[in-house]
Chain A
Amino acid sequence: MRRITVSEVSKTFTLHNQGGTVLPVLNRISLHVDAGELVVLSGPSGCGKSTLLKMLFGNYLADQGSILIAGDEEEVDLVSAHPHQVLELRRHTLGFVSQFLRVIPRVSTWDLVAEPLERRQMDREEINERVSRMLRRLNLPERLWTLAPATFSGGEQQRVNIARSMIVHYPILLLDEPTASLDARNRDVVAEMVQEARAQGSALVGIFHDDELRGRLADRLVMLEATQCV
């Protein structure tokens, strides 16, 4: 099943406060991703990998073209969608693992990870079960569970982020360097989780700087070329 269909998408940033500088980033990009497939975006730094990934999440708006996202119920074009449709997609269809953790300060690790499950009105016992399994799997020591991640190391924060984003199953999962600040052992755990998501039929799009990991995970590479910038 085709989950993502990107056609002729362009993106330009206009920096009004820097003399109206226009930065063209993507020019008429097309790609598609099927269920059960992991597509890795690659290309030199600054070629727009991250921008494209954010556009697939509705975080950045495309200037033109279309980005069709097929959920289980309906297909939505992110370029023209109403914000509510995008929110709805994010609730059930689109998951995003970003590089940074952006949460309310002082909320405990446990509560952060449990939140996506609570939103789905899962019962308390199952939530507790799944959260502790996830935190253990990512080697987050139990003494950290009741603490807020603000004081954690980069790698620990990253793992909280992954736990939070991957604890529910999304038909589409976008990965923005999920393993950037992880050690080898945890990188392998995340790679394993990514593979499991794929096996469960998720369509995945990711950016990985780690060549070894990219080779191990990617079904397909999509090259973005900096030359597309004018």
Chain B
Amino acid sequence: MREPILTARDVTREYAPGQGCLGVSLDVWPGEVLGIVGESGSGKSTLLRLLSGQESPDSGTLQFIDRHQTVWDLCSSSESDLRYLGRTEFGIIHQNPRDGLRLRISAGGNIGERLMGVGERHYGDIRAEAEKWLAEVEIDPSRIDDRPAVFSGGMQQRLQIARNLVTHPKLVFMDEPTGGLDVSVQAKLLDTLKRLVHDLGISVVIVTHDMGVARLLADRLLVMKSGQVIESGLTDQVLDDPHAAYTQQLVASILQVN
């Protein structure tokens, strides 16, 4: 069996006693979608920021293996290396697309930025790639010169996805990617995400408090409570046969809509 691309051991980041992320260990395997669920304040988003190198832990180890099989110790990597990884190997999809987009730059410029950031210098190629990615996330390519400020929330989120995936990252972090969206828009976005993840073979760590999203996207789930992982396993196993009291409570509180 292949080895995990991201390995976290005893990762701790404590903002205040008992608050933050306390001794979390996990593996992310190639091509898998790992869901992190738990209620607000359980440390999910902190964990995501630690895993993606946006924040460094107080203690613990984080190891990442890139596409060239280079092993990175994320805790001791320089900021420059972390930012390089952030542009090339990682993608980060924020809950609020406004945090992940440049609203005053055209859709094409938003997608092209990462390409230019890694040295692409041919306007025609960049534009062609941007058009391809707009189509890929189901935005009409004729809107390439429109600014995201005039896009709907769902389209902004799609644009954010295109902007991240254009350099084919190996590992994409998503923080409540469908959070602010209308239910009907959510479904379509989930479908797009699922297809892209599969087609590109990328690994995804997705933080969500929506069990429905977790069930549809994640292969495996981690349940977090008070900064710790209290249960983990296959998504359907955790949701259908939850063992921890908290997980049972979480599952029981899902609205049954069919």
Interface of A toward B, CB cutoff 8 Å: 13-17, 54, 58-61, 83-88, 102-107, 118-119
**Do residues B1 and A84 form an inter-chain contact, with CB atoms below 8 A?**
yes
Q: Which of B187, B243, B244, B245 contacts A104 (CB 8 A)?
A: B187
- Cβ–Cβ contact B233 & A83, under 8 A: yes
6 intermolecular pairs with C-beta atoms under 8 Å apart: A15-B248, A16-B249, A54-B241, A83-B233, A83-B234, A118-B198
- Segment at the A interface, from B108-116, B166-174, B215-223: B215-223
Contact with A along B1-43 (1 / 0, CB 8 A): 1000000000000000000000000000100100000000000
Asked if B136 CB lies within 8 Å of chain A CBs, one says: no
CA of A119 to CA of B197, assembled, Å: 12
| Residue in contact with A106 in the complex, picked from B187, B233, B244, B252, CB distance below 8 Å | B187
A60 x B249 contact (CB < 8 A): no
Judge whether B241 and A61 touch: CB under 8 Å: yes
Interface residues of B (CB under 8 A from A): 1, 29, 32, 184, 187-188, 190-191, 194, 198, 215-216, 219-220, 233-234, 236-237, 240-241, 243-245, 248-249, 252
Cβ distance B208 to chain A, nearest Cβ, rounded Å: 14
**A61 CB contacts on chain B under 8 angstroms:** 233, 237, 241, 243
Structural contact, A87 and B187, CB atoms closer than 8 A: no
Shortest distance in angstroms between A135's beta carbon and chain B's nearest beta carbon? 20
Across the interface, do A107 and B191 meet the contact criterion of CB distance under 8 Å? yes
Q: Give chain A nearest CB distance to B180 CB in angstroms.
A: 18
Give min CB distance, A18 to chain B, whole Å. 9
CB atoms of A104 and B191 under 8 A apart: yes
Knowing A59-B240, A60-B240, the reply to whether A87 touches B234 (Cβ < 8 A) is yes
A-B contact count (CB 8 A): 56
Main secondary structure of the interface of B (DSSP, over half): helix
Known contacts A59-B236, A61-B243, A104-B191; A84/B198 CB under 8 A: no
Task: Closest B residue to A20 by CB, please name it.
Answer: B245
Cα–Cα distance between A54 and B239 once the two chains are bound (Å): 13
Task: Check B252 against A17 for contact (C-beta < 8 Å).
Answer: yes
Residue of B nearest to A111 (CB): B191
Query: CB within 8 A of A17: which of B1, B216, B245?
Result: B245
Known: A17-B248, A83-B234, A105-B187. A59 touches B241 (CB 8 A): yes
Can you name the residue of chain B whose Cβ is closest to the Cβ of A119? B198
For A157, the closest partner residue in chain B by CB is B258
Query: 3 closest A-B pairs (Cβ-Cβ)?
Result: A16-B245, A105-B187, A60-B241
Which chain B residues border A103 with CB–CB below 8 Å?
Answer: 216
- Whole-angstrom CA separation of A15 from B247 in the bound complex: 11
Return chain B residues, CB-CB under 8 Å to A87.
32, 219, 234
Given contacts A105-B187, A106-B184, A119-B198, 17 further A-B contacts (CB under 8 A): A14-B243, A15-B248, A16-B245, A17-B245, A54-B241, A59-B236, A60-B240, A60-B241, A61-B241, A83-B220, A83-B234, A84-B29, A85-B1, A87-B32, A88-B1, A104-B191, A106-B187
Most chain B beta carbons < 10 A, residue from A59, A83, A102, A106: A83
Q: State A59–B237 Cα separation when bound (angstroms).
A: 4
Instruction: List the A side residues contacting B220 at CB < 8 Å.
Output: 83
Q: How far is the CB of A210 from chain B (nearest CB, A)?
A: 24
B248 partner residues in chain A, CB cutoff 8 A: 15-17
Chain A residues in 8 Å Cβ range of B198: 118-119
